Amino acid sequence: MEKLLKGKDVADAINQGILKRTPALYEKGIVPTLAIVRVGESPSDIAYENGAVKKAKTLGLQPEKFICPADIAQEDLIEVIKAINNDEKIHGILLLQPLPKSIDADAVRNTLCPEKDLDCISDASLARLFLGQEEGFSPCTAEACIEILKHYRIEIKGKKIVVIGRSMVIGRPVAMMLLKENATITICHTKTPPEDMRAICKSADIIIAAAGHAGTLTADMVGSGQVIIDVGINFNEEGKMCGDVDFEPVSDIVSALTPVPGGVGSVTTTLLMKHLVEAAERTVK
């Protein structure tokens, strides 16, 4: 492998851009403020929340927590979201998911107004993305894949790119975003015959592995000169975090590869903060 595509370098560059933009907002009395909505006490939610709070404060942004009990009524949670929508001092919303099974998650996420939906989780926000409209925000993880490619000056235009995974969280959005960058896109998924997926992946210039299963992309599916973006977050039998890519064997063959941890995930939260600043800027234009 010629290059390990570390996310920290990408995140640092984005951070510098954020720090250059915030003084103009401060001069107008605006502090970009992020509402973090958490339901219950899930350890993973709390960990993500703590990371977002730390990142926001590091960049001079203001986090504001809205902690709801696990047994909150759906109507009451929707009222919390509506109140945040109407609060002019709050510029963005991070709704931690999944929500409890007793709550209709679709009804809640679709309460977010697109102007504050920083991670593109509502149907209205996704519609803007798929229609190519500029005023919305892209899903942070999908955007992180593209930011990594651009940071390392890896050409997207005209390239054959395979996306493994078709979820509305990553697979489909990143495919649409890459299409907008004039790449030729193929989406593979769990129903793609293994022999077809192997042949399709081998013919690609770039592969985005976003299936959510460890070992999805193996050495027999890749070729020399390829660039691999590993979006997966899984844990192996030893409890060690790993991606969707069989890292060691694949890294011996391909040209460039993102690590897990330390790759896409480290860029995602930084992009959330960039979106927050953009949302605040839009209130004064």
Question: What does pLDDT average to over the chain?
Answer: 96
Q: Which residues are paired to 65 by β-bridges?
A: 36
Crossing angle of helices 7-27 and 265-282, in 10° steps, is 20
Q: Where in the chain is the domain with CATH 3.40.50.720?
A: 140-265
Strand ranges (DSSP E) for the chain?
3-4, 33-39, 62-68, 92-95, 160-164, 184-188, 206-209, 227-230, 234-235, 241-242, 256-257
Phi and psi angles of residue 140, each rounded to the nearest 5 degrees, phi first: -60, -40
Tokens 């930011």 sit on residue: 147
Amino acid identity of residue 80, one-letter, is V
Range 140-265 has CATH code 3.40.50.2300: no
What pLDDT does 230 receive? 98
pLDDT tens figures, 159-171: 999 999 999 999 9
* Mean pLDDT (whole number) for 245-257: 97
User: Which of residues 266 and 148 earns the better pLDDT score?
Assistant: 148
With bands split at pLDDT 50, 70 and 90, how would you rate the model's confidence at 285?
Answer: low
**Spatial contact of 92 and 276, defined as CB atoms under 8 Å apart:** yes
Predicted TM-score (pTM) of the model is: 0.94
Token pair listed for 165: 């995974």
pLDDT tens figures, 187-207: 999 999 999 999 999 999 999
pLDDT tens figures, 43-96: 989 999 999 999 999 999 999 999 999 999 999 999 999 999 999 999 999 999
Rounded to an integer, what distance in angstroms lies between the CA atom of residue 243 and that of residue 10? 19
Q: Which residues are paired to 35 by β-bridges?
A: 64, 93
**Spatial contact of 278 and 14, defined as CB atoms under 8 Å apart:** no
**Spatial contact of 136 and 120, defined as CB atoms under 8 Å apart:** yes
What pLDDT does 102 receive? 94
Q: Where in the chain is the domain with CATH 3.40.50.10860?
A: 29-128
Pick 29-128's CATH classification: 3.40.30.10, 3.30.70.360, 1.10.20.10, 3.40.50.10860. Answer: 3.40.50.10860
**Spatial contact of 55 and 36, defined as CB atoms under 8 Å apart:** no
Rounded to an integer, what distance in angstroms lies between the CA atom of residue 265 and that of residue 229? 11
Tokens 């915030």 sit on residue: 22
* Mean pLDDT (whole number) for 209-238: 95
68, with CB counted inside 10 A (0-12, 13-18, 19+), is middle
What pLDDT does 19 receive? 98
